[in-house]
A and B are shown apart, each in its own frame.
Chain A
């Protein structure tokens, strides 16, 4: 009965490693942005976790877009890019 969310979980568990949102969207034939919404829900439910690099982009540091630190960026509090 649980349709799309279950398929997402099955697809992720089938993989013996990480999977990108893009690849998952392609496999499930779901629009990438819609999948992001579904993943956010599943993450909130504690069923999986999503890593989003560059979450500190909001701090305006141009080079942080692709950095790996996300919200835990050790340099963001030092005013880089502000």
Chain B
């Protein structure tokens, strides 16, 4: 029997290329798992046999390239260069061959024999992708083995290919990517100089291919630069030439060398794919494609988006009115119960009935609407439609000179402005980010919904959904106008191009929708039990004192504050009570509603509040008031988030003051123009 020949085999490949399956097929149960030195990434090792060859197989982490940007990439290249396995088996997903071959070109540059295991051939065939493995092998100068890892097909052929490479039956040529005469000239110069450096030659060139080192140096790979500088001074000829070569190539291509090299590699891969891959039929048109043809259409997309938003508000009010009525009755019953059974002083009665039940209860009755709107938003998100909405709206954002990503935080603002402001972190440009932060509070969050619900029920009962929808549209339109204005004045510049991945449509699951809805609705409930409760008690105090005055009258502290502010809101058609409600609504917008509930001293009774509102508002001023609530000063939590995200008191103050001014101007225009055209006053 022949002596056993040990062969070190490294398995490399893209994530999800079926590498682990091939590893299991090769090694069976003969494997163990450890860690790569110094890191917590799994290191799987195993053994396999073929004839008198024993393979020691190492499953390397999945990577797309051999740059030094991720831990996995560093592990792979350090292992291949440091351990110098006898063979690198590159697992290539045949159904995504173009992306996978990009790694192959880099593995071949390392100068170690490479075998391509063309895995998932069945998937490729099913997709109509035909690959000429023989031609691929010929063009790349490496053995290519077709495999179906999941069905353990091709494992023996792969073992044979490894043996053949080891025994010299298959010559490894490993075709190198040529980067064009200009780059090649510089590579040659640098390679020569590197080889002349005795210490570099002695310490590094035994492991690394000199060409690979030079290419990495040109690509500004920091790790390779560090490695070389250990054996060669930074002011040596090598580094001087490196700088000179980079400058020279930049002047020729107008791009940094890394971009040029990456582009050449992709070009090389594209050429190989062009020669060896035949697509027998066009990719099937999926249901998602068919739906997207309509929903993301330049013309049809907008009306569908508007219709879906309108439908959301219609459902919110149509379906919400029934449970709202039940909660209303429950709260009224609670108020009567307290009033008739609690033997306590008058002030405590008033605190509980007018302050707590009137304040918190007047907001809580809108809980059904809040729940329904959150369910609708969750469904739109979970189906994948919200991504399309962002896609459609991006055209407008682009026209504004804003980044397409800006609309995503804006859509989030429909839920709550606080996480939406936080989400602007996804924008790389500071200018885009500042504009998006500044306009975000103009997106109508759900905290404004109780205000709309209260006023539309009182003044626009037949068209509640449509009027609410118009306020959301008003917010978006003004956000767009302000964005354009900020771009033209405060934050000049162009935004970078934007590409979007659209996920496939999915049926939302009941559980998922409920989780999303509950996460948001519970925040509202917590707010009702904390901020709104505290705000209601505070407003009750201001309405009740000084002792002896009529509750909530103009002689109370609230009345005093309101009268002081009244001249500011009088041109808008509002009275002092509106001034108080808006003042305290700064803490949280729902407090606008609870303030009225408390100030009127009629408990949470919606009909009574509605009747009181009719005394101080007309439909025109009610609409102006809703617009003011939508646009003015973001709530306290949003202001805190703006400060945190901008890191500037100046911009926080600007966000507060410009929105206040905008709200005043819009409410003023609604009132004045409305009166001019005979809409009352």
A-B complex is real? yes
Residues on A facing B (Cβ under 8 Å): 1-6, 9, 12-13, 16-22, 24, 30-31, 33-34, 36-41, 44-54, 61-63, 65-72, 74-75, 78, 80-81
Say yes or no for B546: interface residue by CB 8 A criterion: no
Alpha-carbon distance between A80 and B65 when the two chains are bound, in angstroms = 33
A31 touching B97, Cβ below 8 Å:
yes
**Shortest distance in angstroms between B97's beta carbon and chain A's nearest beta carbon?**
7
User: Told that A1-B260, A18-B394, A31-B99 touch, could you supply 11 new A-B pairs with CB distance under 8 A?
Assistant: A3-B263, A4-B267, A17-B395, A18-B398, A21-B501, A22-B289, A50-B500, A61-B512, A65-B384, A66-B386, A68-B408
B520 contacts which chain A residues (CB < 8 A)?
Answer: 75
Say yes or no for B672: interface residue by CB 8 A criterion: no
Alpha-carbon distance between A16 and B428 when the two chains are bound, in angstroms = 20
B496 touching A47, Cβ below 8 Å:
yes
Alpha-carbon distance between A76 and B466 when the two chains are bound, in angstroms = 33
**4 residue pairs, one from A and one from B, having the closest CB atoms:** A63-B512, A66-B384, A74-B419, A17-B395
**Shortest distance in angstroms between B105's beta carbon and chain A's nearest beta carbon?**
12
Q: Which one, A20, A38, A65, A72, contacts B500 given CB within 8 A?
A: A20
Closest to A53 in B: B387
Alpha-carbon distance between A37 and B96 when the two chains are bound, in angstroms = 11
B387 contacts which chain A residues (CB < 8 A)?
Answer: 53, 66, 68
> What are 10 A-B interface contacts by the 8 Å CB criterion?
A1-B253, A12-B498, A13-B497, A50-B501, A62-B511, A66-B387, A70-B426, A72-B419, A74-B423, A74-B519
Say yes or no for B664: interface residue by CB 8 A criterion: no
Alpha-carbon distance between A50 and B97 when the two chains are bound, in angstroms = 22
A49 touching B515, Cβ below 8 Å:
no
B503 contacts which chain A residues (CB < 8 A)?
Answer: 53-54, 65-66
Q: Which one, A9, A22, A38, A45, contacts B266 given CB within 8 A?
A: A38
Closest to A36 in B: B99
A5 touching B262, Cβ below 8 Å:
yes
**Shortest distance in angstroms between A52's beta carbon and chain B's nearest beta carbon?**
5
* 9-residue interface stretch from B136-144, B335-343, B399-407: B399-407
A52 contacts which chain B residues (CB < 8 A)?
Answer: 501
Alpha-carbon distance between A45 and B241 when the two chains are bound, in angstroms = 24
Closest to A6 in B: B263
Say yes or no for B382: interface residue by CB 8 A criterion: yes
B383 touching A66, Cβ below 8 Å:
yes
**Quick one: given A2-B263, A30-B270, A37-B64, are A47 and B497 in contact (CB under 8 Å)?**
yes
Say yes or no for B112: interface residue by CB 8 A criterion: no
A65 contacts which chain B residues (CB < 8 A)?
Answer: 384, 503, 506
Residues facing A in B503-521 (CB within 8 A) are 503-506, 508-509, 511-513, 515-516, 519-520
B102 touching A5, Cβ below 8 Å:
no
**Quick one: given A31-B273, A51-B501, A69-B412, are A5 and B263 in contact (CB under 8 Å)?**
yes
Say yes or no for B391: interface residue by CB 8 A criterion: yes
A39 contacts which chain B residues (CB < 8 A)?
Answer: 499
Alpha-carbon distance between A12 and B55 when the two chains are bound, in angstroms = 48
Say yes or no for B45: interface residue by CB 8 A criterion: no
A49 touching B99, Cβ below 8 Å:
no
Closest to B182 in A: A1
Residues facing A in B376-400 (CB within 8 A) are 378, 381-384, 386-387, 389-391, 394-395, 398-399
**Shortest distance in angstroms between B319's beta carbon and chain A's nearest beta carbon?**
21
Say yes or no for B269: interface residue by CB 8 A criterion: yes
**Shortest distance in angstroms between B402's beta carbon and chain A's nearest beta carbon?**
12
B423 contacts which chain A residues (CB < 8 A)?
Answer: 69, 72, 74
**Quick one: given A31-B96, A66-B384, A68-B387, are A53 and B502 in contact (CB under 8 Å)?**
yes
**Shortest distance in angstroms between A72's beta carbon and chain B's nearest beta carbon?**
4
**Shortest distance in angstroms between B222's beta carbon and chain A's nearest beta carbon?**
14
**Shortest distance in angstroms between B299's beta carbon and chain A's nearest beta carbon?**
13
Q: Which one, A13, A38, A49, contacts B403 given CB within 8 A?
A: A49
B180 contacts which chain A residues (CB < 8 A)?
Answer: 1
Say yes or no for B69: interface residue by CB 8 A criterion: yes
Say yes or no for B225: interface residue by CB 8 A criterion: no
Closest to B379 in A: A63
A34 touching B99, Cβ below 8 Å:
yes
Closest to B267 in A: A3
Convert B64-86 into 0s and 1s, putting 1 for each residue whose CB lies closer than 8 angstroms to a CB of A: 11000100000000000000000
A48 touching B498, Cβ below 8 Å:
yes
A74 contacts which chain B residues (CB < 8 A)?
Answer: 412, 416, 419, 422-423, 519
A1 contacts which chain B residues (CB < 8 A)?
Answer: 180, 252-253, 260
Query: Most chain-B CB neighbours within 10 Å: which of A18, A38, A41?
Result: A18
Alpha-carbon distance between A74 and B387 when the two chains are bound, in angstroms = 16
Closest to A50 in B: B499
**Shortest distance in angstroms between B633's beta carbon and chain A's nearest beta carbon?**
22
A20 touching B501, Cβ below 8 Å:
yes
B499 touching A18, Cβ below 8 Å:
yes
Alpha-carbon distance between A71 and B405 when the two chains are bound, in angstroms = 13
A16 contacts which chain B residues (CB < 8 A)?
Answer: 395, 398-399
Say yes or no for B98: interface residue by CB 8 A criterion: yes
